[in-house]
Structure 1
């Protein structure tokens, strides 16, 4: 097995490669810059000052670093890699694409190889292979330094933006100095928000054997929010967990109607692959705290009355909302069901019967009992409470009693 020569001894066409690179440095850098602009479209969008300044300087540093590493027969050292990483950080700060930066370094490496091997002859095969191997190693080292610097800056930037948005959301919901927070974060407040309190159904993957449920939940939330962000940009603010939460959407002309709100919510649910129950209302930034509390209450009412998936406003459940407000009336309605509390099968049958729109046969099928058993249990509810769930006159009162019971249980925690 033939040992590799030291980098400083590698010679092509009668001249050591590192010496040739040093001698040809000005022309090499000009060639690299010209080729980058020709082959990487993103660099053509940069100001001329940046190309002749920062980009030319980091190109010069990279070429010199490779020549030194060859002469001294070593890998790039920490200082050289830090300079390359710092340049990548600046590109990330500017929002310049990582793909373009990496492509530029590959272009530069090809030019280094082309210049360094330009006078290679037939007797130089072994040294030529060794030089090519060292260029490839240089590309790998630089790629890691660029990627690390770029992504660390990107994570920092994303973290700062996320923190700013969370702080703004907290100020809106908790009633803090909204204008001050928005100014310090560089965020322009909309004139009004669409406030959505949402309940998200489970995705099938969350209960699939062998599937990480936490990953399934995160994927559900990411896809749900992505629909809002595609529609309304990065001004969307959200606080969600797997079961739901709060979404504030900047109102724009495209969201001028309730129908457009419904379409947006339905699209988000389809994208996430889940059913969505939501309470909606609009609010100026200074009204978000009050409105968020109200939409949260409306969402609870929707749950207590067993409403199906969809978007609702307070106007859609005015009677139901009023029936479940704390007070003597709610307590008495809830107390009407106290006699059946000790009979779990009666409570289950009554709630299923109401959920299935008073259909006895579907109730029996759901509970795996005979329809006659459903009738018997409902008559027992009537005998114990004095409210007949089968008779049309008793139906509104029993529905209200069930909802009041759920509200009272929720209030007790």
Structure 2
């Protein structure tokens, strides 16, 4: 009768299995990542940064957890299972398929067994069977942890708290009575919110060949909001899609200065890996509807005037805001550029010239024409509109006319 061995004593090819796994950990992790990408199509659509970061990290944690469980002759403990469950939560947040996550762990387990048993001989049959049994038990335990973590996150997304927060945001944005909704959700309203209307630039991964753009967008939004939640707690309310949306940050003693607003927005933009254009204004809960409408309008003004990424208040664009308010004056100002409709090359040249700070050479380089061509086109703009964009006195009016024209165009999206 063969004597039963503890996990720490299981030996294949003359070496304890847990020691082999520890010694060959870097190569094993690289093998697991390679096999996952080869065998699980969804992982090939992940950004390289995520594969080399979060996915590699959880792979390392899983390999080490199995090696420890062998050495200490036990099942995975609660801390190890929490790490695995937390990773599954992140995949659920990104909308990554549960089937793919589970398949990846099975692929990893096969590689663990392959490395651990690589030098097994005929004399190792008993230990080999024991190691195989432990790998299967490991896979079963992990499958439970992953499934629980993933499904719990899904339930959170559609659960009562999530629904209540969405309802609260909707009521705040619509100007309805919020006290009852907040009480039923167990949410204490702050004295004031910082209302942010934001436009998020595209992340590079969204256009990367082979990367799932939907996952890249959700990952961008998750990281963007996580930066706010880390600073402001769970009271952050948001309605965001890929291009942007509305965010309410509870002030409650935080973010007292505009400089702090800007610093937090910069932090969130860096976390998401994108440029952010935002209009901000504080508001009491009863004022959110009016203030959100105004910050939305300010954000449009920022787009129309081509402002660079950053955080702006109404006070930063008072003249621009007033110039673009609906009315007869705006319509007439926009009509100044109507003669350019039949000359798209003139409109393109004028827009580039103004965007590039009236630099003729940079404008020419962008449009791939000679600087003399830029001069000719700008003189034609003067002939057709009566405004000279080459003269300092004409710049304010031509800039205002272009913004008024953009403001008069039908809203996209």
Q: TM-score, normalised by structure 1?
A: 0.66
Q: Kindly state the Cα deviation for residue 349 of structure 1 after the two structures are TM-superposed.
A: 0.3
The 1-side partners of 2:135 and 2:371 are apart by 77
The 2-side partners of 1:213 and 1:102 are apart by 25
CA contact (8 A) 1:98 1:147 kept: no
CA contact (8 A) 2:330 2:404 kept: yes
The 2-side partners of 1:129 and 1:396 are apart by 81
Query: What residue is the counterpart of 1:300 in the other structure?
Result: 300
Sort the Cα spacing of 1:129 and 1:254 in 2 relative to 1 into closer, same or farther, 3 A: same
CA contact (8 A) 2:340 2:346 kept: yes
| Number of aligned positions between the proteins | 299
The 2-side partners of 1:266 and 1:211 are apart by 26
Q: Where do 1:262-277 residues align within 5 Å?
A: 262-277=262-277
Query: What residue is the counterpart of 2:176 in the other structure?
Result: 176
- Partner deviation per Cα, 1:144-176 (whole Å, 9 max, x = no partner): 567656654553244222222111111111122
Sort the Cα spacing of 1:185 and 1:97 in 2 relative to 1 into closer, same or farther, 3 A: farther
Q: Kindly state the Cα deviation for residue 221 of structure 1 after the two structures are TM-superposed.
A: 1.1
The 2-side partners of 1:101 and 1:361 are apart by 56
CA contact (8 A) 2:228 2:264 kept: yes
What SS does structure 2 have at the residue aligned with 1:190?
Answer: coil
Q: Kindly state the Cα deviation for residue 379 of structure 1 after the two structures are TM-superposed.
A: 0.5
Sort the Cα spacing of 1:362 and 1:165 in 2 relative to 1 into closer, same or farther, 3 A: same
Q: Kindly state the Cα deviation for residue 300 of structure 1 after the two structures are TM-superposed.
A: 0.3
The 2-side partners of 1:205 and 1:156 are apart by 28
> Does 1:230 find its partner at 2:267?
no
Q: Kindly state the Cα deviation for residue 215 of structure 1 after the two structures are TM-superposed.
A: 1.5
The 1-side partners of 2:412 and 2:338 are apart by 15
What SS does structure 1 have at the residue aligned with 2:387?
Answer: coil
The 2-side partners of 1:155 and 1:248 are apart by 23
CA contact (8 A) 1:168 1:182 kept: yes
What SS does structure 2 have at the residue aligned with 1:173?
Answer: helix
CA contact (8 A) 1:98 1:150 kept: no
Q: Where do 1:14-413 residues align within 5 Å?
A: 99=81, 148=147, 152-160=151-159, 161-410=161-410
Q: TM-score, normalised by structure 2?
A: 0.66
The 2-side partners of 1:373 and 1:367 are apart by 10
Sort the Cα spacing of 1:195 and 1:138 in 2 relative to 1 into closer, same or farther, 3 A: same
CA contact (8 A) 2:191 2:252 kept: no
Q: Kindly state the Cα deviation for residue 220 of structure 1 after the two structures are TM-superposed.
A: 1.2
> Which protein is bigger by CA-based radius of gyration?
1
